[in-house]
Amino acid sequence: MDRSATLRVIDFGTVTPLRSQTLWHAIASGVSAGGPPTLAFCRPGGRYVSIGFHRSIDELDPEMCGPTGLAVFRRMVGGGPVYIDPGQLFFQMVVPADWATARRGETIRRLLEPAVAAFRDVGIPASFDDEIVLGDRKICGHAGGQIGGALVAVGNVIDSFDHAAAASIVRAPAPEARDEYLRQMRRFVAATPTDFDAFVAAATHRYADAFALDPFPGDLDATERRELDRLDRLFVDPEWVGGVEGRRRPWWRVKVTSKVWVTHARIDALRVTAAFREGRVRSVRVCTDDGVSVATRNVEEVMRRFGAPRIGELLEEMAAGAPA
């Protein structure tokens, strides 16, 4: 069989949280070594937290995550901390690095558009707008990158989403900041219940078609299995999970979607939490340490009440900051 024109398809079924990460990293090593392009699927058998390659462990709530809470695994692709549970089906497309186009954005789109088509095939009219969305709601968390000599795009199909659990994993500087994060997630992140098997079939067809490859059911080879053993050890190594020291930011910021983020900062005795969509204030809440709390969509109102120059300047600075 000419492996260069085939698409290996592996449906791992339900796997442990650890394996739901290490399996596709092992595939990346296989593809780097000349293995066939591969489309993989898995369902995590338990709840855990996945954190992006460059992100600080300090972004996670220490009581909810880590030794006394949910397991944390650091992936080798981008994005922030995410909550994962058995209500999600994961797909990963892994192709040789020399399939990249000169434009990174175009590469990501090529790797995700077949998934968008698969969503549509199973009755979910999804589209791609920096991420996979249904209208203005994100319905698929994705990330990607080059691991060795392989390009990897990962995403999920969400059967049910526990917004409260997802908000709880993030270290928030104040209760109102976490509340706002949860509120915005409920508004802009949605589950799209569907038959996982139907999605697997549709995605297989769409990816094979998009890359002009013949799909065949496969499994890891011996080299990938050895790499899997290594990755199983690496991903629970505290040094790997701990990663790098966090970047200090002038204010706390958490992304809800590619267009929506929530920020929080303190000015003397005032705590300011704001939600932005495409750089525009969606809501702002100002709290004082003596219990006053004002939430509004009206920036003028909080500026009048709490001091226009400083709050106005802060909101402008927060809006200018790109979401992390």
Residues that bind other proteins (CB under 8 A): 52-55, 76-79, 102-105, 107-108, 130, 142-146, 244-245, 247-248, 258, 322, 324
The token duo for 295 is: 């939430």
Q: Which is nearer to other proteins, 78 or 125 (CB)?
A: 78
Q: Which is nearer to other proteins, 86 or 148 (CB)?
A: 148
Q: Answer yes or no: are the C-beta atoms of 151 and 96 closer than 8 Å.
A: yes
Q: Which is nearer to other proteins, 143 or 281 (CB)?
A: 143
Q: Which is nearer to other proteins, 145 or 218 (CB)?
A: 145
Angle at 84 between CA 157 and CA 161, to 5 degrees: 60
Q: How far is the CB of 95 from other proteins (least distance, A)?
A: 14
Residue 166: CB atoms within 10 A of its CB come to: 21
Nearest one of 177, 164, 156, 155 to 64, comparing CA atoms: 164
Q: Which is nearer to other proteins, 42 or 152 (CB)?
A: 152
Q: How far is the CB of 245 from other proteins (least distance, A)?
A: 7
Q: Which is nearer to other proteins, 102 or 212 (CB)?
A: 102
Cα(299)–Cα(311) distance, integer angstroms: 9
Q: How far is the CB of 143 from other proteins (least distance, A)?
A: 5
Q: Which is nearer to other proteins, 247 or 304 (CB)?
A: 247
Residue 96: CB atoms within 10 A of its CB come to: 16
Q: How far is the CB of 220 from other proteins (least distance, A)?
A: 23
Q: How far is the CB of 194 from other proteins (least distance, A)?
A: 23
Determine whether 1 is exposed, middle or buried from the number of CB atoms within 10 Å of its CB (0-12, 13-18, 19+).
exposed
Cα(60)–Cα(86) distance, integer angstroms: 20
Unique residue bearing structure tokens 């369902």:
43
Q: How far is the CB of 16 from other proteins (least distance, A)?
A: 24
Helix (H/G/I), strand (E/B), else coil: 160: coil
Q: How far is the CB of 293 from other proteins (least distance, A)?
A: 31
Q: Which is nearer to other proteins, 185 or 200 (CB)?
A: 185
Q: How far is the CB of 145 from other proteins (least distance, A)?
A: 3
The token duo for 184 is: 């915005």
List Cβ<8 Å contacts ≥24 apart for 275-282: 275/180, 275/183, 275/184, 276/318, 276/319, 279/319, 279/320, 280/319, 281/315, 281/319, 282/184
Unique residue bearing structure tokens 């990460």:
21
Taking the mean position of all CA atoms in its chain, how far away is CA 99? Answer: 23
